[in-house]
């Protein structure tokens, strides 16, 4: 069933078995232009740019996911179910709930707590905590050792909303569920991987802190994310 409604690639061979997914399609473009060789563009629908190229000898696709669980839910489902993708590593940003996390720290999300009904609606689980792939996580940890880029292994919160009326609600979520940081996508990605018997992992860079209210600029983020991208690419 290709092309799919949201990915206009007509040749399945143009999509690699492994996909790196930043939230921002322009970051996908930046990664392809900066780190990959022999790059071809594989998606333009809705400007959700995707590119396939080579990192050394390894074929890899990098494509934006958009923001939020419904968005990553659509793209990761189409890649897994219709384009033969086996592994997706999300490379995103997060807000720190834990005072121990500093701006630009890199987090490997061992699992994600969410109030989202995504997994239940899909009919795969009524659990509110879903884990990433142990196989992928172990590879990322090995890449962390090899590259010397440190990672915090944490539970994260996949939130349904960015702007909360109760601005210190994060404290409860941190205390009650043990989530150290917040983003808005991983729970749906992990649910799709579980539903389709595929593998997913999530690396995050801390872009802001709910504890200290520090934040990074879009430009600083672009540069700081290099560390995380290198880690993800080396884990391949
Ligand atoms: N909230 C939700 N998602 C995020 C945040 C945040 O503070 N920072 C980066 N992604």
CATH number of the domain within which 174 lies: 3.40.50.1580
Q: Which residue has the least CA distance to atom 7 on ligand 1?
A: 95
7 found inside a domain: no
Pick the atom of ligand 1 nearest to 210's CA: 7
What is the span of the domain harbouring residue 149?
12-234
**How many angstroms is it from 93 CA to the middle of ligand 1?**
7
178-233: per-residue pLDDT in tens? 999 999 999 999 999 999 999 999 999 999 999 999 998 888 887 678 889 889 99
Position 160 in a domain: yes
Is the beta carbon of 183 within 6 A of some atom in ligand 1?
yes
pLDDT tens track for 52-104: 999 999 999 999 999 999 999 999 999 999 999 999 999 999 999 999 999 99
Is 4 domain-assigned?
Answer: no
Q: Is 111 annotated as catalytic?
A: no
Given the DSSP bridges, would you call strands 18-21 and 37-43 parallel, antiparallel or unpaired? unpaired
Q: Is residue 3 included in any domain, yes or no?
A: no
Q: Give CA–CA dist 161/84, Å, rounded.
A: 31
Closest CA to 99 of 181, 186, 184: 181
The Cα–Cα gap between 108 and 128 comes to 19
In a domain, 133, yes or no: yes
> CA torsion, points 192, 194, 199, 204, in degrees to nearest 10?
60
pTM beyond 0.95: yes
Q: Which residue has the tokens 């090995």?
A: 142
Q: What is the mean pLDDT of residues 109-113?
A: 98
Pairing, β 58-63 against β 179-183 = unpaired
């Amino acid at each position: 069933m290709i092309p799919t409604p949201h990915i206009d690639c007509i040749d399945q061979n143009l999509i690699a078995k492994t996909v790196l997914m930043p939230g921002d399609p322009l970051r996908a473009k930046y990664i392809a232009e900066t780190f990959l060789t022999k790059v071809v563009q594989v998606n333009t629908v809705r400007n959700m740019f995707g590119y396939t190229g080579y990192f050394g000898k390894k074929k890899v696709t990098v494509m934006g996911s958009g923001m939020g669980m419904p968005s990553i839910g659509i793209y990761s489902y189409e890649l897994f179910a219709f384009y033969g993708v086996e592994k997706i590593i999300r490379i995103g940003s997060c807000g720190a709930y834990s005072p121990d996390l500093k701006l630009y720290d890199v987090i490997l999300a061992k699992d994600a707590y969410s109030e989202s009904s995504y997994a239940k609606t899909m009919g795969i689980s009524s659990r509110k905590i879903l884990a990433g792939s142990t196989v992928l996580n172990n590879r990322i940890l090995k890449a962390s050792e090899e590259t010397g880029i440190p990672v915090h292994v944490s539970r994260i919160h996949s939130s349904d909303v960015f702007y909360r009326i109760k601005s210190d609600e994060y404290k409860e979520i941190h205390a009650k569920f043990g989530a150290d940081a917040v983003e808005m996508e991983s729970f749906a990605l992990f649910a799709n991987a579980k539903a389709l018997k595929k593998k997913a992992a999530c690396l995050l860079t801390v872009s802001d802190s709910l504890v200290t209210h520090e934040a990074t600029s879009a430009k600083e983020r672009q540069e700081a994310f290099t560390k995380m991208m290198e880690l993800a690419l080396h884990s391949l």
